[in-house]
Amino acid sequence: MLARSETHVTLRDADVAQEAAVTQAPPPPDTKLQRTSRDAAELAAPIAAWLATDLPPGADPVVEIHGGSDANGMSSETLPLDASWTDGGRRRTGRYVARIAPSADDVPVFPAYRLADQYDAMRIVAETTGVPVPQVRWLEPTGDVIGTPFFLMDRLEGRVPQDVLPYNFGDNWLFDATPEQQRRLQDNTVAVVAGLHGIPDAVETFGFLDAGRSGHAGETPLRRNLARTRAWYDFAVPDVGRSPLVEHGLAWLAAHPPVERETVLCWGDSRIGNVLYRDFAPVGVLDWEMAALGPREADLAWMVFAHRVFETITGLLELPGMPHFLRADDVRTTYQQLTGVELADFGWHLLHAAVQWGVVFMRTGARQIHFGEIERPAEVEGLFHHRPLFEQLLGEVGA
């Protein structure tokens, strides 16, 4: 894929961009990464038949898919589609995105896909906050219709900071924006996270997102989330082998847990690459696969760390990058101004992010090997495009 020059993209484009960031950094031009063995053209008829069971009699829905395997995201498959049906004697048309759990045969990133949990999290956020999330419409939780669960949500328009090539490489709308515009995007995105964290009674409202629900041991949400990361790593090992670097990080994190304070709704994959923007303000907060209950610091550290990964790559390539953007101190200060809460133990959460990115690279690398796109590296950490940053963070915490 080449760097995009368009100023407007759809939800599909945001997810395409997200996929490429965590599979290669950067890929060569015109590379298309295979995400699925599923034929998108075969999905229209069963989805239309399923919609007919939910719509009034005589609706006669018709579905048109826009895209194929190259439109799929890092983990869930994401397909844009139009659906039309008859309502009250008139034909209606809606623009949607189908979020589809991947097949187990296609080397999924996560061991389980909680499509119903994502659906409910997005629905509740839309109902209780001003945070812009796509409106969810229909949920098929059984997998009986197309082989795995899926849901439909509204398709939004906006523009997304590109990941192929990463936005800090240059020649794109965010890199070319003024420092003031870049800062406006940064602060507006931190405000979105603050809005999510401000939802009252999160433990009760979003209890279905607690990692303990899946049987992960631990007395607190943070410890349960760390246990889930360990289980995720164990899931990744059989396909690519063990990572001493990840295991070192996991051991240090378990031995040095931070003091836990308030538990909030964490978006999880809180990257600017998962946000649609207009005029440098968010209009669509996307990708809720990693949503969980946890500490505030997790979302902000993930946001900062994702940018630092790209900055590591530009540094290795001797490109100028965007060192002034998404700096930890600036993000923490803005968050404190918005919420009155001072973030703590940021180093612990940055290292947790590095461990999780290591697992992501293990799974996306395993998928590339599975589809014959790359050769198996001599060591698993050859898949880690953030390895220098990972090692730096271990040194910073004295691990």
Active site residues: 269
Say which residues have a Cβ less than 8 Å from residue 336's Cβ, sequence separation at least 6: 342, 343
Strand partners, 186: none
Q: d(Cα 361, Cα 372) in Å, to the nearest integer?
A: 16
- The encoded tokens of residue 163 equal 């990941």
Helix (H) or strand (E) holding 5, with range, is none
Q: d(Cα 210, Cα 375) in Å, to the nearest integer?
A: 37
- The encoded tokens of residue 297 equal 């610091």
Q: d(Cα 358, Cα 75) in Å, to the nearest integer?
A: 15
Cis before 33? omega within 30: no
Residue 11's CB is within 10 A of a number of other CB atoms, namely 25
**Is the CB of residue 72 less than 8 Å from the CB of residue 15?**
yes
Sign of CA dihedral 213, 214, 215, 216: negative
Q: d(Cα 165, Cα 20) in Å, to the nearest integer?
A: 9
Strand segments, DSSP code E, in 88-202 are: 90-100, 136-140, 150-154, 157-158
Strand partners, 64: 82
What letter does residue 209 receive in the DSSP assignment?
Answer: G
